[in-house]
Structure 1
Amino acid sequence: MGPPWKIQFLQDVIRQHRPDLMFVCEMLSNSKKMKRVRSRTGFQGMLTVEAQGRSGGITLLWKDQIHVSLLSMPNNHIDVVISIPDMQIKRLTGFYGEPNRSQRRRTWELLRNLSRENNLPWCIIGDMKNILQQEDKKGGMLYPQWLLDDFNDTIEEAGLNDLELHGHQFTWERGRGTYNWVEIRLDRALALKSV
């Protein structure tokens, strides 16, 4: 969140969509900077897990009309219960998956464990660091099948549905305008099937 254009981009997105709650991940920032972002974007509440070296960093922001109760906040997720006037109480988890593929099973085990911890209607959002199908990737080599299979098995076992993405199909890219341009949908919203 260092360069001013990133904060301006975030402000533009907020102005366009007017969210009451927002999860930002992989911003490589600290609490002090995120407090400035919070005040410049019109949010009142904030929970932040600071970046570890050159990776991670997650923040959940919300407006006053939302009541947030923290369940857990280790280095890769923020798990809360949210209460909005005239709406059912729900559970929301902002999530940042394991970047190292060889340790991706940690992410899947964490998703399984989180799914067992509470029986509230649940939505999990963030950077899962994985795709569900080959169509979630454009360019480059095929995604390893074992990653697809294990992630799909985890989603099924946790009782989650992948929610539809509106807007551009991909959420991460590298090499734009070159022969090696790769685009991938790593960011997702998942919700319990019964919700």
Structure 2
Amino acid sequence: MLWFIFYPMNLMLSILCYLTNWLAALFADERGELHGSWLYWQTWDDSLDVEWFVKETVPKIFRYDFDKHYVSTREAPEYLKHLGRDKGAVKCINNEFTLKERIQRYFCRVLWLYRNNGYGFAFYWFGNGCVGNLLATRKFKYGTLVYDRFNPIWGPWKLSGKIGWFEFLAGWKLATESGAFKWAMITGRILIRK
């Protein structure tokens, strides 16, 4: 199964991203987009300037007037269209940031990269093809297995569930309700929750 080969490589690149996210944010354009090789540090589904994150999630010291500078939108760049995906984006309506706002925006971008560490690598390099209506679902005592019914060995799959305080997710982020999606990012995590 590809996941057992890809996931360790994805973890190594995640470490690289943890060490360099602060640098990657310096290369974002006015719309919060990374280009070239830096694209792999960015989330595939959003720019680095995410409205709800700036307004509600980052520590107050880093919040700036998002609405004064940006309008949130969605777009489907060519590199995502063929995968049946689109992404969150922003339109810059006022690029006159004060020095304080530029510093705040930089920290918002860095925190966004740490929140979604290495998502570009996980999606573009280690993603797997999928079509929602070709997936089968099997429920069992502690969770659910979703897999490609026509390619159960090499195709994408997702195993999720909960055993006691441990919640787990492995495989690819598959959306069974979305037949139009053609690509899913690799994932794996174990959380402790009551």
TM over 0.5: no
Higher fraction of helix: 2
TM-score, structure 2 as length reference: 0.27
Max radius of gyration: which structure? 2
Structure with more relative contact order (C-alpha pairs < 8 Å, separation 6 or more): 2
TM-score, structure 1 as length reference: 0.27
